[in-house]
Amino acid sequence: MSEKRRLGKGLGALIPEAVNGSVETGEIPLEQIQPNPLQPRQDFNDDRLQELAASIKEHGVLQAVVVSPTGEGGYFLVAGERRCRAAKVAGLHSIPAVIKPMDRKTMLEIALIENLQREDLNPVEEARAYRRLMQEYDYTQEELASRIGKSRPSIANSMRLLSLSNEVLTMLSKGEITAGQARPLLAISDPPEQHKAAKKILEEGLSARDAEKITAKISMRSGKRRKQENYPIQDPLRIELETQIQRSLGTKVRLKEGKNGGTIEIYYYSEEDLERLIAKILPEGI
């Protein structure tokens, strides 16, 4: 069975010993469990936490959390932070756990996979988790896709979002706009214009398709301004071509005319953004 298919089936695929009963299991005092320092999830919904706490009071903890010994008599929580938090709210003093020694890399992978399977991460948390795995453990997008059971384009599209301005990322984290609404904004290179467009999307409740339309208009206006600055005679075809390339690549693009041809400038704003562009231009790899 391939690694990609194994990991897609759940945490038991990452720690098959838990299924076979060869790892330690038992009740762990909640006070001995430390939060996972590699937890990709930062936002926890209070209402959903209270609902889970009420369920735990009624039925108990139905699924064990996963912990790893710290080496100092305690445990790092690898998977199940929401269950731990809810258990404390419900007044429990201990929680059933699977105890499995593991390295930092595996801890991050399992925490990411659990959150992805439960759809608990917001788009920014998800993208940052992918970036962390790639930066700290030298994964390529292809390798990461195989490890966590996602497609490479899905990971690339997720990480593209990190090129958005901080203001737009905050709106995305809060759920004020969706990833589908935010992605077209990547074609707007000016951060204030990008934020302005994001607020328009929020205030008017625009769909992802509508977001693409207003982004195209803003990109067109920006393109025309640049042409007025750089070219005495505007070429509508060049302006339109530049705009279309920007929309396709999701980044700033400039066409420059020379005596015998010209150049195409493609802008990127981070190493992740560069990798995304390379993957888009060279889908078969280098």
Query: Where does the pLDDT of residue 228 fall: very low under 50, low under 70, confident under 90, or very high at 90 and above?
Result: very low
pLDDT the model gives residue 145: 83
pLDDT band at 278 (very low <50, low <70, confident <90, very high): confident
Q: What is the pLDDT of residues 63-72, one digit of tens each?
A: 888 888 887 7
pLDDT (tens digit per residue) in 45-79: 677 778 888 988 888 888 888 888 887 778 988 88
**pLDDT computed for residue 131 by the predictor:** 82
Please tell me whether the overall predicted TM-score, pTM, comes out greater than 0.75 for this model: no
Predicted confidence (pLDDT) per residue in 191-215, tens digit: 888 999 999 999 998 888 888 888 8
Torsion from C-alpha of 251, 125, 4, 143, nearest 10 degrees: 50
Q: Which pLDDT score is estimated for 6?
A: 33
As a whole number of Å, the CA-based R_g of the chain is 23
Provide the sign of the torsion angle of the four alpha carbons 185, 191, 193, 197, taken in this order. positive
Mean pLDDT calculated for residue range 101-113 = 77
Residue 126 among the catalytic residues: no
Catalytic residue among 17, 27, 58, 81: 81
| Mean pLDDT, range 35-42, rounded to an integer | 65
Residues sharing a CB contact under 8 Å with residue 255, sequence separation 6 or more, in sequence order: 238, 241, 242, 245, 262, 263, 264, 265
CB proximity list for 108: less than 8 A, separation 6 or greater: 38, 40, 129, 132, 133, 136
Instruction: Work out the angle at residue 89's Cα, subtended by the Cα atoms of residues 83 and 90, and round it to the nearest 5 degrees.
Output: 85
Answer whether residue 223 shows pLDDT above 60: no
What's the whole-number average pLDDT of the chain?
77
How many alpha carbons fall within 13 Å on the CB side of residue 132?
19
pLDDT of residue 171: 93
Q: Identify the DSSP state of 91.
A: T
What's residue 1's pLDDT? 34
Architecture of domain 158-279: Orthogonal Bundle (1.10)
The whole-number pLDDT of residue 40 equals: 58
d(CA 262, CA 275): 25
Q: How far apart are the first and last CA of the chain?
A: 28
**C-alpha span between 191 and 197 (Å, rounded):** 10
- The residue ranges of every structural domain in the chain are 3-121, 158-279
- Band (pLDDT 50/70/90 cuts) for residue 221 is low
pLDDT at 263 over 80: yes
pLDDT at residue 256 greater than cutoff 70 = yes
Second-level CATH architecture of 3-121: Alpha-Beta Complex (3.90)
How high is the pLDDT of residue 4? 34
Instruction: Give residue 41's pLDDT band: very low, low, confident or very high (50, 70, 90).
Output: low
pLDDT of the residue at 186: 86
